[in-house]
Structure 1
Amino acid sequence: MNLQEEITEFKLSVELNQIVHTFHNGKYNDTVREVYDALLSLNVGVNNVEKMVRTVFEKLGGLKVERLPKRTFSEIMLVEAKALAQMQAAEAMLTSECNTLHTDGTKRGGHEFGGVQAESGLKLWEQNILESVDCSSFFSPSCCDFIRASTKLCVPGADEKSGYAGCRALGIVNKLLTGPLWRIIENVDHILVLNDIWLVFKNSIELLSKDASELIEGKVFYPEFTKKDEVFNSLFINNDLDEELNLLTIEALQIILMNFFIIIETQLSDCLPSSIFNENTEGVNKDLRVESTTVGTTNIVSERAFAYLDRLRRIKPNDNTVAVEGIILFSNNKTLRWLDDMNVEIKEIFKIAREKTPEIIKQFRKRKEEFKKNHMILLKQRKEEKERKSLKKQEEVKALTIEIQKHGGLWLNLKD
Structure 2
Amino acid sequence: MVDDVLPLTLTAIKSLVFRLNKKRSELSRHKHSDQIVLLFQEPFFAQQSIPAVEHAQPSSVSAEVQQKVVVSAKPKLCVRNVNKKLKRKDEKIKEFKSEVSALSKENHGLHSCLATAQRASEKNRVALSRLNKKQENVIIEKDSQLLKLENCFDVRMELLEKRIEDLMCEVEIVRNERDQLAERLTEFESQTLKTKKHKQLYLDSVRQCCMELMSLNVSTQNVEKVIRSLLQHIAGMNVENLPKPSTLIGMTSEMKGLACQQLAEQLTRTKDLTLHNDGTSKFGQHYGGFQVSLPESSYSLGLCEMLTGSADLTLKSLQMILADIEAVAGDGIGDKILANIKNTMSDRHIVEKKFNGLLEDYRQEILPSVVAGWDALSEEEQLNLSSLNNFFCGMHLTVGMADCVLSTLLEWENAYFDEVPSRHVLARKTEPGIVQLIRTACKALSRHGCEKSGVYQHFTAYLKQNGVPHNPLATFRGNRFNIVFYDAGALFFIAPLVNDFFKNVWQTPNQLLKAVSADLAVPEHLAGCKALGIINKVITGPLWRVLEDKDISILDMNGRFQNLLSYLDKWAMDASTVVSGNAIVFEDFPPTVDAIYECLFAPSEYDNIVEEILTVLFGAFSSLLTRLVGEHLPDGKYDATNVSLVAETKSVPKTNTISERDFCTAGSLPQGKTKCIHFITRSFDLVLQQQNC
2:674 partner amino acid: P
Indicate if the aligned counterparts of 2:276 and 2:290 stay in contact, CA closer than 8 A.
yes
**What do the CA deviations read for 1:300-336 (whole angstroms, capped 9, x no partner)?**
322222222333343333344433333333233239x
**Aligned residue for 1:355?**
none
1:97–1:171 Cα change, 3 Å: same
Residue in structure 2 matched with residue 379 of structure 1 by the alignment:
none
Give the corresponding residue for 1:380.
none
Instruction: Please tell me whether residue 21 in structure 1 is matched to residue 387 in structure 2.
Output: no
CA separation of 1:39/1:246 partners in 2, compared to 1, >3 Å: closer, same or farther?
same
Cross-structure match for 2:580: 217
Distance 1:50 1:300, change over 3 A: same
Opposite residue 562 of structure 2, the aligned amino acid is L
Q: Shift of residue 25 of structure 1?
A: 6.2
Residues 151 and 36 (structure 1), Cα distance of their counterparts in 2 relative to 1, 3 Å cut = same
Show the 5 A alignment for 1:17-416: 18-22=192-196, 24=198, 26-123=200-297, 136-139=469-472, 143=498, 149-150=515-516, 152=518, 160-187=522-549, 188-221=551-584, 222-225=586-589, 226-237=591-602, 239=603, 241-242=604-605, 245-280=606-641, 286-334=643-691
The answer to whether the Cα contact below 8 Å between 2:577 and 2:583 also exists between their aligned partners in 1 is: no
C-alpha deviation, 1:291, in angstroms: 0.3
Amino acid at match of 1:84: L
Does the aligned pair in 1 maintain the 2:296–2:651 contact within 8 Å?
A: no
Give 1:186's aligned amino acid.
Answer: E
Q: Contact between 2:273 and 2:651, CA under 8 Å: does it hold in 1?
A: yes
What TM-score does the superposition give when structure 1 sets the normalisation length? 0.65
Determine the C-alpha separation between the residues in 1 that align with 2:678 and 2:624.
Answer: 35
Q: Distance in 2 between matches of 1:316 and 1:165?
A: 48
Q: Structure 1 residues 39 and 288 mapped into 2: Cα distance closer, same or farther (>3 Å)?
A: same
- Partners of 1:302 and 1:324 in 2: CA distance: 17
Q: CA–CA distance in 1 between the matches of 2:625 and 2:199? A: 62
Q: 1:23, 1:67 within 8 Å by CA — same for their partners in 2?
A: no
Query: Aligned partners of 1:202, 1:13: CA distance in 2, in Å?
Result: 69
Out of 160-169 and 108-117, give the one that drifted further: 108-117
* Contact 1:270–1:276, Cα closer than 8 Å, also in 2: yes
The answer on whether the counterparts of 2:576 and 2:611 sit within 8 Å (CA) in structure 1 is yes
What is the CA–CA distance in structure 2 between the aligned matches of 1:273 and 1:148, rounded to whole Å?
Answer: 50
In structure 2, the CA distance between the partners of 1:136 and 1:178, relative to structure 1 (3 Å rule), is farther
Give 1:289 shift.
0.6
- Matched to 2:685, the amino acid is I
Count of residue pairs brought into register by the alignment? 305
C-alpha spacing 1:191/1:291, structure 2 compared with 1 (3 Å): same
Residue 77 and residue 161 in structure 1: after superposition, are their counterparts in 2 closer, same or farther (change >3 A)?
Answer: farther
Q: Which has the larger radius of gyration?
A: 2
* 1:50–1:69 contact (8 Å) kept in structure 2: yes
Q: CA deviation at 1:274?
A: 1.7
Change (3 A) 1:62 1:14: closer
The alpha carbon displacement at 1:159 in A equals 5.2
SS in structure 2 opposite 1:325? helix
1:100/1:118 contact within 8 Å kept? yes
Contact 1:96 1:122 in 2 (8 A): no
What is the alpha-carbon distance in structure 2 between the residues aligned to residue 247 and residue 270 of structure 1?
36
Contact conserved, 1:22 with 1:65, CA < 8 A, in 2? no
- The amino acid across from 2:269 in the alignment is T
Please tell me the residue identity of whatever aligns with 1:317: T
Matched position secondary structure for 2:288: strand
Query: How far apart in 1 are the matches of 2:274 and 2:594?
Result: 38
The residue type paired with residue 540 of structure 2 is T
- The answer to whether the 8 A contact 1:97-1:121 is kept is no
Deviations 1:334-383 (A, max 9, x none): 39x9xxxxxxxxxxxxxxxxxxxxxxxxxxxxxxxxxxxxxxxxxxxxxx
CA distance, structure 2, for counterparts of residue 265 and residue 228 of structure 1: 29
Name the aligned partner's letter for residue 294 of structure 1: S
Amino acid at match of 2:628: Q
Closer/same/farther in 2, CA of residues 37 and 289 from structure 1, 3 Å limit: same
The 1:209–1:152 alpha-carbon spacing in structure 2 relative to 1, beyond 3 Å, is farther
Instruction: Note the alpha carbon deviations across 1:264-312, whole angstroms, 9 max, x for none.
Output: 22221222222222225xxxx6511100001001223222222223333
- Give 1:74's aligned amino acid: L
1: CA distance, partners of 2:245 / 2:256: 17
What is the DSSP-based 3-state SS (H/G/I as helix, E as strand, rest coil) of the residue aligned with 2:543?
A: helix
Distance in 2 (alpha carbons) for counterparts of 1:250 and 1:147: 29
Q: Contact (CA 8 Å) 1:279, 1:288: kept in 2 or not?
A: no
Note the aligned Cα RMSD (angstroms).
Answer: 3.2
Q: What CA distance in whole angstroms lies between the structure 2 residues aligned with 1:209 and 1:45? A: 57
| AA aligned opposite 2:655 | T
Question: Residue 410 of structure 1 corresponds to which residue in structure 2?
Answer: none
Q: CA-to-partner distance for each residue in 1:206-237, whole Å, 9 max, x for gaps?
A: 33234322221112313432211111001022
Instruction: Please give the secondary structure, in 1, of the residue aligned with 2:555.
Output: helix
2:640 match: secondary structure:
coil
Q: 1:16 Cα deviation (Å)? A: 6.3
Q: Residues 15-34 of structure 1: CA distance to partner in whole angstroms, max 9, x if unpaired?
A: 86734133656443332221
Tell me how far 1:192 sits from its aligned partner.
Answer: 0.2
5+ unaligned residues in a row in structure 1: which ranges?
Answer: 1-11, 126-133, 338-416
Q: 1:264 to 1:317 in 2, by over 3 A?
A: farther
Q: Greater relative contact order: 1 or 2 (C-alpha under 8 angstroms, separation 6 or more)? A: 1
- The residue type paired with residue 200 of structure 1 is N
Residues 162 and 318 of structure 1: CA distance in aligned 2, closer, same or farther (over 3 Å): farther
Report the CA distance between 1:48 and its aligned residue. 0.7
- Provide the rounded CA distance (Å) in 2 between the counterparts of 1:311 and 1:84: 23
> Partners in 1 of 2:626 and 2:468 — Cα distance?
34
Q: Say if 1:151 and 1:160, in contact at 8 Å, map to a contact too.
A: no
Unmatched runs of 5 consecutive residues or more in structure 2: 1-185, 300-466, 473-493, 503-511
